């Protein structure tokens, strides 16, 4: 069935747009620069940062990674951030989650200069998203979902959208993006979560379902309207005695059952994941453009 | 029928709580101070600021009002704001909307020091609201509606809430407050607006309807579920040839038809309006407390 939303292909298109913008920056003497900060040796964080570093390399974005010991003090990390905030070669700063327990994520993310906050986690960028003000950075995963919907011509104007999950990284910003008074939004959004009653009923009336709950295969075939667009943001590890490692990754959607009924659906992997990195790369180039307007502007 | 939510009574209770906090501040040598800035002579703005000034006086909050000419330059206004941002006697700054057309509201509101932004309009305060982080200021009208719901024991956990209107001052922050993972929230929120289809259907399944659309008497009796809680934020002037002035104010709810079917309903006036001022006064005292912790803290 050809109702798959090919995140890899769409991400590749966005990457080619980003490469063109990197070229323009370099023609003006600017190499976009992104710094990754990892604290400790969380295995998943190593993998994620490694993937992002390789993509920077592929696109011509300069990147470097600072790895701090797990017992680094928060004040040391904040001092490091202040230095990068001041460094004109660094246009984007990404502090990879999770942080050690002795650190306060809220304080750490709020210390990143909002104009270098390519993750879109700083309160001022979240506020600009909600107020629909320009000039902020959109968080990468929901921005990537939005691009998937736009670039597959999914009708959003007046559409019934159900967002499952109210996390700060996906659910809440996703809802905020799609409800705005804007050409590519104007949806009627319902946000469901762990305390919601009647989630299945909400889903059954939805034109678009975006699942970011973190519950393996939560959305089943009986919960969707025929023809609905279904986006799977979930990444859940479940045990699988038959596999080599004893476990495997599944999304929040029961993909095989839902696909035949859906109008369009993201595979997982190969749907939302590649878009998150594409948005991070684009945000980094936007940051470099904004910070070097004096150089790249028409009066240079 | 005694299903009226008495905003005047609940606001009076909050004011008495505020007076107690003002007393504690004064015992520590701090008089909370609020500055109003009006630009031009918009008649409604004069009335609103006048009401707020009188309430400050009643509660022991020091207030002053700066009136600028309609043709004041934006840069002059920003300079004035910077001075108040630095003035330790001023704990709260309120720039009364609307501003003249030659000014950019976004720039003006973002210039107010977030720690003095008692209106809750600065992006960093909006971001903290959405991220559910402490220490920010909540916008007064939706915070007032939330207090009405809490203080009338309206069940919110798992409740179906429909917010009508997606303005930055009421609709969007209202939705954000009620969807949070929190004892007095945890609602399933749907935000409807001018591009929504099926608004009546959404309303008919709602346990709580909050109308902030600005459409006179939009919510009719057939749109509500028996027993629903109905909150009217609207203030609309409609023509009324029979009245002395030729016009009268109505809300977004067809009050007389809806009241018999509602479980609880705000009168209008006398519902949400008094709560907005109560929240402004409370925000001002919170601002004074936060800015003078050195004086009022346990180590003083």
Using an 8 Å CB-CB cutoff, list chain B residues near A194. Answer: 181
Q: What is the DSSP letter of A217?
A: T
In the sheet with B33-39, reading across from the earlier edge strand, the strands are: B62-68, B33-39, B92-95
Output the pLDDT for position A1: 63
Position A294 pLDDT exceeds 70: no
Mean per-residue pLDDT over chain B, rounded: 96
CA distance A208 to chain B (A): 14
Reply yes or no on whether the pLDDT at A296 is more than 60. no
- Whether B13 is covered by a domain: the verdict is no
The Cβ of residue A152 has, within 10 Å, a number of other Cβ atoms equal to 13
Tell me if A120 is assigned to some domain.
Answer: no
Closest residue in chain A to residue B199, using alpha carbons only: A188
**Which residues in chain A have Cβ-Cβ distances shorter than 8 Å to B130?**
126-127, 129-130, 168, 172-173, 176
pLDDT attached to residue B294: 61
Q: Are residues B154 and B217 in the same domain?
A: yes
Per-residue pLDDT tens digits for A203-240:
999 999 999 999 999 999 999 999 999 999 999 999 99
**Per-residue model confidence (pLDDT) at position A293:** 73
**Which residue, B98, B124, B150, sits at the end of a domain?**
B124
Same domain, B170 and B229: yes
Chain A segment 78-117 residues within 8 A of B by beta carbon are: 106
Number of domains present in the structure of chain B: 2
How far apart are the C-alpha atoms of A100 and B265, rounded to whole Å? 48
Give the pLDDT band (50/70/90) at residue B63.
Answer: very high
> How distant is the Cα of B68 from the closest Cα of chain A, in angstroms?
26
User: For the segment A101-119, what is each residue's pLDDT rounded down to a tens digit?
Assistant: 999 999 999 999 999 999 9
**Residue B4: inside a domain:** no
Decide if B126 and A127 are in contact by the 8 Å CB cutoff: yes
Residue B298 has pLDDT above 50, yes or no: no
Q: Is B124 on the interface with A (CB under 8 A)?
A: yes
pLDDT digits (tens, 9 = 90+) for A37-89: 999 999 999 999 999 999 999 999 999 999 999 999 999 999 999 999 999 99
Q: Is the pLDDT confidence value at A295 over 60?
A: no
Of B128, B158, B172, nearest to A196 by CB-CB distance is B158
* Residues counted in chain B: 300
| A108 in a structural domain | yes
B295: confidence class by pLDDT, cuts 50, 70, 90: very low
Domain extent, residue A256, equals: 140-273
Q: Is B245 found in the same domain as B144? A: yes
Same domain, B258 and B198: yes
For an interface test with B, the pick among A122, A195, A213 (most B C-beta atoms closer than 10 Å) comes out as A195
Question: Which CATH number is B116's domain given?
Answer: 3.40.50.10860
As given in the structure block, the two tokens for residue A42 are 């969380």
Last residue of a domain, one of B75, B90, B124: B124
| All residues at 6 or more sequence positions from A39 whose CB lies less than 8 Å from its CB, including other chains | A67, A68, A69, A70, A72, A77, A95, A96, A99, A100, A103
pLDDT for the residue A102: 97
Q: State which of B78, B99, B124 marks the end of a domain.
A: B124
Catalytic residues of B, by residue number, are 52, 96, 119
Whether residue A168 and residue B131 make contact (CB cut-off 8 A), yes or no, is: yes
Closest-approach residue (CA) in chain B for A131: B168
B202 contact residues in A (CB cutoff 8 A): 188
For residue A26, give both structure tokens: 């370099």
CA distance, residue A1 to nearest chain B CA (Å):
30
**Mean pLDDT (whole number) for B82-98:** 97
pLDDT at residue A283 is higher than 90: yes
Interface predicted TM-score (ipTM): 0.95
Q: What is the pLDDT of residue B1?
A: 62
- Residue B114 falls inside a structural domain: yes
Residue B284 resides in a domain = no
Does B283 reside within a domain? no
Distance CA B51, CA B47 (A): 6
Asked if the structure places residue A104 within a domain, the reply is yes
Quick one: A146 and A102 in the same domain?
no
pLDDT beyond 60 at B169: yes
If pLDDT is split at 50, 70 and 90, which confidence band does A259 have?
very high
Whether the CB of A122 is below 8 Å from some CB of chain B: the reply is: yes
For chain A, the average pLDDT equals: 96
A229 and A182, same domain (yes or no): yes
B109 and B149 fall within a common domain: no
Note whether B169 contacts A: Cβ–Cβ < 8 A: no
Query: Same structural domain for residues B206 and B266?
Result: yes
pTM score, two decimals? 0.96
Nearest by CB to residue B172, choosing from A123, A130, A168, is A130
pLDDT of B296 higher than 90: no
Percentage of residues of chain B with pLDDT beyond 70: 97
> Are residues A99 and A157 located together in one domain of the fold?
no
């Amino acid at each position: 069935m050809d109702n798959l939303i090919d995140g890899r292909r769409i991400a590749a298109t966005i990457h080619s747009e980003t490469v063109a913008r990197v070229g323009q920056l370099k023609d003006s003497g600017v190499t976009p620069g992104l710094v990754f900060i990892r604290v400790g040796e969380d295995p998943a964080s190593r993998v994620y940062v490694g993937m992002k570093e390789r993509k920077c390399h592929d696109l011509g974005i300069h990147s470097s990674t600072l790895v701090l010991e797990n017992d680094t003090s928060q004040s040391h990390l904040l001092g490091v951030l202040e230095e990068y905030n001041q460094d004109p070669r660094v246009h984007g700063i990404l502090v990879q989650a999770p942080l050690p327990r002795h650190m306060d994520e809220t304080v750490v993310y709020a210390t990143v200069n909002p104009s270098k906050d390519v993750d879109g986690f700083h309160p001022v960028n979240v506020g600009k998203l909600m107020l629909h003000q320009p000039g902020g950075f959109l968080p990468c995963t929901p921005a990537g979902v939005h691009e998937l919907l736009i670039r597959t011509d999914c009708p959003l104007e007046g559409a019934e959208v159900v967002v499952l999950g109210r996390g700060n990284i996906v659910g809440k910003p996703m809802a905020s993006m799609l409800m705005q008074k804007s050409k590519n939004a104007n949806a009627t959004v319902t946000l469901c979560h762990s305390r919601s009653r009647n989630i299945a009923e909400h889903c059954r009336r939805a034109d678009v379902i975006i699942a970011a709950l973190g519950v393996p295969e939560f959305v089943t075939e009986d919960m969707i309207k025929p023809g609905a667009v279904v986006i799977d943001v979930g990444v859940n590890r479940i045990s699988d005695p038959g596999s080599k490692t004893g476990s495997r990754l599944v999304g929040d959607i029961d993909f095989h059952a839902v696909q035949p009924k859906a109008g369009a659906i993201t595979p997982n992997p190969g749907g939302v994941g590649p878009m998150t990195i594409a948005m991070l790369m684009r945000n980094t180039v936007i940051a470099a453009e904004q910070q070097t307007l004096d150089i790249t502007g028409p009066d240079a």
